[in-house]
Every structure is written in C-alpha cells, then in structure tokens.
C-alpha cells in the first residue's frame, strides 16, 4: 500500500475521532481512590517505606533502588538491567507484576482496568515532580 494512502487514512481517523488519537488522560482524584488498593503496603505522600517501598518520586527511579527497602533479588536485577519506572513500565507492571518482574515479592495480582491504571499513574505523578 502506498504510504500516502496510509497517512491519509491515519489523518482521517484522527480528525474523525480525536479522543482516540492520543493516550488516555488520567484523573488524579480517581487515582487517589485506586491508590487505596495500594496503601496497605505503600505510601506516596512521604519517603517512608512500609511493607512495600515508598512510591514518592517513583518516576525516573531505577527499579529496586529505594533506600532502606529489602527488595527481591529479581527487582534488584531488573533495576541493574536498566528497568526505570516510567508510565509505560509502570502500566505493564500494574497489569501483572509477576509477569513484568518474575520473582517480585509484591503479592498484589495487578489491576485489570486500563482506566484505573491511567488514573493511578496520574495520581502518582503528582508525587514525582
């Protein structure tokens, strides 16, 4: 297929359905509600660890490196291998933590609702500025 046809189709779809052209927008207020599922083990407002590491300043952090937290060997290895928390990596991890980092100690099975994940990411981003 001619690349100009592909470009024309893409431009037409974008013009007709602008809400679907980009990434989903997250609602930080809704994300605060989703975070309640995480709050048993994590905090975000401070840099204090609980059962899980603090998620304060999460974005841009290399996996397995928050001070004074006993990470699994798998999470440490993921960080040493270059895993850095950004939206894409966190989205994959939140969908299925054990698939993203095999051997993680995190017991949470994951979030299945994409909008909940998007909202949670928007909430967590407020604490990574």
Domain range summary for the chain, segments of one domain joined by +: 23-125
Tell me the pLDDT tens digit for each residue of 17-70.
Answer: 444 444 578 999 999 999 999 999 999 999 999 999 999 999 999 999 999 999
The pTM of this model reads 0.80
CATH top-level class of 23-125: mainly alpha
Tell me the pLDDT tens digit for each residue of 87-124.
Answer: 999 999 999 999 999 999 999 999 999 999 999 999 99
What was the pLDDT predicted at 27?
Answer: 98
Q: Would you list the DSSP string of 67-102?
A: TT----HHHHHHHHTT-B--HHHHHHHHH-HHHHST
Tell me the pLDDT tens digit for each residue of 59-77.
Answer: 999 999 999 999 999 999 9
What was the pLDDT predicted at 24?
Answer: 72
What lies within 8 Å, CB to CB, of 64 at 6+ separation is: 71, 72, 75, 76, 77, 78, 79, 80, 83
Q: Which two tokens stand for residue 69?
A: 């937290």
């Amino acid at each position: 297929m001619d690349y100009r046809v592909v470009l024309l189709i893409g431009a037409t779809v974008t013009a007709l359905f602008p809400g679907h052209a980009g990434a989903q927008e997250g609602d930080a207020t809704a994300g605060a509600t989703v975070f309640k599922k995480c709050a048993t083990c994590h905090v975000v407002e401070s840099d204090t660890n609980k059962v899980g590491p603090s998620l304060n300043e999460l974005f841009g952090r290399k996996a397995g490196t928050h001070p004074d937290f006993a990470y699994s060997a798998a999470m440490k290895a993921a960080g040493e291998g270059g895993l850095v928390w950004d939206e894409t990596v966190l989205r994959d991890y939140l969908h299925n933590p054990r698939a993203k980092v095999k051997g993680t100690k995190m017991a949470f099975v994951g979030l299945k609702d994409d909008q909940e994940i998007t909202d949670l990411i928007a909430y967590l981003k407020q604490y990574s500025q």
